[in-house]
Amino acid sequence: MGELIVIAIGGNSLIRDSEHMTVYDQYKACGETSKHIAGVVEAGHRVVITHGNGPQVGFILLRSELAKDKLHEVPLDTCGADTQGAIGYQIAQTLGNELRRQQVASEVVAMVTQTLVDYADPAFVSPAKPIGPFYSEEVALQYKEREGWQVREDAGRGWRRVVPSPQPLEIIEEPAIRTLLEHGVTVVAAGGGGIPTVRGADGDLEGVAAVIDKDLTSCLLAKNLGASIFMMSTAVDRVALFYGKPEQRDLDRVTVAEAKEYMAEGHFAPGSMEPKIRAAIDFLEQGGERTIITKPDMMESALRGEAGTHIVP
């Protein structure tokens, strides 16, 4: 069996711009990405695909708010499950179609996935992850009073609800993912970082209102499965120093030590490239062979060493 690659695709990569945000637009964008993932599978690699869901969760929350006088609102953990199912369906179908066209014998299964977190995580004390639509300060404070939300001003753009973003500890469906991989199935799992779940004293699982960083969960999955390569797709060809400035310098090959140095110097934006670099470092320090960061349409060439930023031990 070929080497195992975990490919993390961003939720924003399914939305090209503000003019292409419909479900059909996202399906088409998903199909474009699936063409390149199919090339990776065709090359003989075993593949697990993870994905982001931030914009899509935001859409559900906004629909829920607009319809709150007519229908029940949707809890945040269920928003995660809904988007895992919808995006997973799009990936599984478009990738399955591509594999069939290329006459590659591999089934694709999308799995709704729970991720265990700890209620003692400091993130539950100090929620900081913005979600959903923007509000005026007055409306946001009304939600805080009426619904018990934590709210915060977000970079001068308005006020938003903030929720905990705890560390992922365990992927509940990991044994099932392993079984599918052993039978040659390409798996879509841990969408949006997984549904945040806590385990009670009696062992029962329960969903909680939180959002887990999908790169951290993808990294955890890659480590636990013993993946050789952890690939993260993003909006840029390569990671860069001095990004967006005249002196910008793209990075082809970086060691863990160099990545740590660049991160300490503040080259990677929090909430954007920094979580990817942290996940890359964690994966490599736990035995991974290589992390690749690149655009979806460059995944195949990046695996050949012809594109992307390659982070190595």
Q: Which of 129, 192, 288, 295 is catalytic?
A: 129
**Contact present, 255 and 277 (Cβ < 8 Å):** no
Query: How far is 196 from 213, CA to CA, in rounded Å?
Result: 10
> What pLDDT score was predicted for residue 213?
93
Residue type, 198: V
- Domain assignment present for residue 128? The answer is no
**CATH code for the domain of 273:** 3.40.1160.10
- Domain assignment present for residue 155? The answer is no
> What pLDDT score was predicted for residue 228?
97
Beta strands in 52-144 (DSSP E): 108-110, 114-116, 129-135
70 as an active site residue: the answer is: no
12 as an active site residue: the answer is: yes
pTM equals 0.93
pLDDT at residue 85 tops 80: yes
- Average pLDDT over the chain, rounded to whole? 94
Q: Which of 35, 214, 223, 295 is catalytic?
A: 214
Greater model confidence, 255 or 69: 255
Enumerate long-range contacts of 143-150, CB under 8 Å, 24 or more apart: none
Q: Which of 35, 223, 276, 295 is catalytic?
A: 276
- Domain assignment present for residue 265? The answer is yes
- Domain assignment present for residue 111? The answer is yes
pLDDT at residue 190 tops 70: yes
* 89 DSSP 8-state letter: H
Query: How far is 35 from 299, CA to CA, in rounded Å?
Result: 10
CA-based radius of gyration for the chain: 19
- Domain assignment present for residue 264? The answer is yes
- Domain assignment present for residue 153? The answer is no
Average pLDDT over residues 287-299: 95
Query: How far is 117 from 158, CA to CA, in rounded Å?
Result: 29
Chain-centre distance for alpha carbon 28:
19
Q: Which of 10, 11, 52, 88 is catalytic?
A: 11
Q: Which domain holds residue 21?
A: 4-116+170-312
Query: How far is 236 from 215, CA to CA, in rounded Å?
Result: 16
Above pLDDT 90, what percent of the chain? 84
Residue 264, C-beta contacts closer than 8 angstroms, at least 6 positions apart: none
> What pLDDT score was predicted for residue 144?
94
pLDDT digits (tens, 9 = 90+) for 154-170: 878 899 999 999 999 99
> What pLDDT score was predicted for residue 12?
63
- Domain assignment present for residue 146? The answer is no
Query: How far is 207 from 77, CA to CA, in rounded Å?
Result: 6
- Domain assignment present for residue 140? The answer is no
Domain total in the chain:
1
Distances (CA, A) of 308 to 30, 40, 202: 20, 15, 47
